């Protein structure tokens, strides 16, 4: 394969068309301009995979030429016309699963912890969801060799604060001249995108060695916190924030605590955890308005970085 050249359409950080040498390990990321997609793209490149990123509508034109070993798919989230978007995602994911199966590619489909009702947390892959996840069903029905990776709310290296449900609240915290309500009921497990990207890469590497790696998996940060508690990690005055401890109105989509059990992946030696205080400071530093805070913000970041090194070493030791 190393001597063969193919013309591949590329939709991310590369010209529209380019002639490339197709290497042994190839990954196709269908949401490469999104928060998670960018992280998976970067992780793949750093681990010597040849990664191509594109919008989903161009996948069909690339997949048969590029012949990827791994395809990562995260459904689009569309606020307006959610029903139409949902049906499109289900159909598109099912069709992608068929195409992946046809060329023998390992499909990693990204799903959510929101399919659980949050009444009995620490959900394992065997627990029956309270909501039917049509995208998951479409993928596994059309491709028995695929993997579904369920994850919670993500944050990380955002291009704009609105990209993440975690970082979007930063302006409410740093601008203390206006009072703001902050949820203090919903237990979330904020997870850094680079950790999920690492898990995707590790899962792909395992699959290259062990074809029985397939089915449903969970990965999540391990620090439970409400949005109000997340705000504490920002190291800003919080007197203008009002914690809201009431449960949402009936019919709200938000489960109280949908903590995921990640032991299945940990048993396989897969996983990475970034402490929230480290990850959120790295993510928010570019958005600091008050430059005088940057020095103290950086000092705190270095302090927590040293703690992070310790916890990562401890986590690796436990996995042995």
166's CB contacts (< 8 A; 6+ apart) are 153, 154, 155, 190, 227, 230, 280
Most confident of 84-98, 177-191, 192-206: 192-206
pLDDT at 37: 93
pLDDT at 178: 84
pTM, two decimal places: 0.82
d(CA 192, CA 208): 25
pLDDT at 1: 36
Q: What is the pLDDT of residues 239-285, one digit of tens each?
A: 899 999 988 765 556 899 999 999 999 999 999 999 999 999 999 98
- In which band, very low, low, confident or very high, does the pLDDT at 148 lie, cut at 50, 70 and 90? very high
Closest CA to 260 of 173, 187, 195: 187
Higher pLDDT, 131 or 4: 131
Task: Judge residue 67's burial from the number of C-beta atoms within 10 Å of its C-beta, 0-12 exposed, 13-18 middle, 19 or more buried.
Answer: middle
d(CA 225, CA 27): 34
Please give the span between the terminal C-alpha atoms of the chain, in angstroms, as a whole number.
36
Please state the rounded mean pLDDT for residues 300-311: 62
**3-class secondary structure per residue, the chain:** CCCCEEEEECCCCCCCEEEEECCCCEEEECCCCCHHHHHHHHHHHHCCCEEEECCHHHHHHHHHHHCCCEEEECCCCCCCCHHHHHHHHHHHHHHHHHHHHHHCCEEEEEEEHHHCCCCCCCECCCCCCCCCCHHHHHHHHHCCCCEEEEECCEECCCCCHHHCCCHHHHHHHHCCCCCEEEECCCEECCEEHHHHHHHHHHHHHHHHHCCCCCEEEECCCCCCECHHHHHHCCCCCCCCEEEECCCCCCCCCCCCECCECCHHHHHCCCCCCCCHHHHHHHHHHHHCCCCHHHHHHHHHHHHHHHHHHHHHHHHHHHHC
- In which band, very low, low, confident or very high, does the pLDDT at 4 lie, cut at 50, 70 and 90? very low
Please state the rounded mean pLDDT for residues 77-102: 76
Token duo for residue 302: 């270095």
86-95, 194-203, 291-300: the lowest-pLDDT one: 291-300
d(CA 97, CA 89): 12
Say yes or no to pLDDT of 50 above 60.
yes
Whether the Cβ atoms of residue 37 and residue 31 lie closer than 8 Å to each other: yes
pLDDT at 127: 95
d(CA 98, CA 135): 13
Task: Using the structure block, give the residue that is written with the tokens 């996948």.
Answer: 59
Say yes or no to pLDDT of 306 above 80.
no
**Domains along the chain with CATH numbers:** 5-319 (3.40.50.720)
């Amino acid at each position: 394969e190393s001597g063969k050249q193919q013309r591949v359409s590329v939709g991310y950080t590369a010209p529209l068309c380019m002639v490339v040498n197709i290497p042994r390990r190839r990954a196709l990321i269908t949401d490469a301009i999104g928060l998670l997609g960018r992280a998976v793209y970067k992780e793949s490149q750093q681990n010597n995979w040849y990664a191509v990123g594109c919008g989903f509508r161009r996948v069909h034109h690339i997949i048969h030429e590029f012949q990827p070993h791994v395809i990562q798919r995260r459904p689009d989230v569309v606020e307006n016309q959610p029903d139409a978007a949902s049906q499109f995602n289900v159909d598109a994911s099912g069709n992608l699963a068929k195409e992946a199966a046809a060329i023998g590619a390992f499909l990693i489909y990204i799903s959510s912890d929101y399919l659980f009702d949050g009444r009995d947390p620490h959900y394992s892959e065997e627990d029956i969801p309270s909501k039917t996840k049509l995208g998951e069903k479409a993928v596994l029905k059309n491709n028995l060799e695929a993997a579904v990776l369920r994850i919670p709310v993500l944050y990380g290296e955002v291009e704009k604060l609105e990209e993440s449900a975690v970082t979007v609240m930063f302006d409410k915290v740093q601008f203390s001249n206006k009072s703001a309500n902050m949820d203090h009921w919903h237990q979330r497990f904020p997870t850094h995108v680079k950790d999920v990207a690492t898990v995707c890469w590790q899962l792909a590497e395992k699959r290259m060695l062990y074809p029985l790696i397939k089915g449903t998996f969970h990965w999540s940060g391990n620090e439970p916190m409400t949005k109000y508690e997340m705000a504490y990690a920002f190291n800003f005055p919080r007197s203008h924030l009002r914690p809201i401890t009431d449960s949402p109105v009936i019919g709200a989509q938000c489960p109280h605590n949908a903590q995921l059990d990640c032991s299945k992946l940990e048993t396989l030696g897969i996983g990475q955890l970034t402490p929230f205080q480290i990850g959120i400071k790295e993510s928010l530093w570019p958005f600091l308005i008050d430059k005088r805070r940057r020095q103290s913000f950086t000092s705190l970041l270095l302090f927590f970085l040293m703690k992070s090194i310790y916890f990562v070493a401890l986590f690796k030791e436990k996995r042995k």
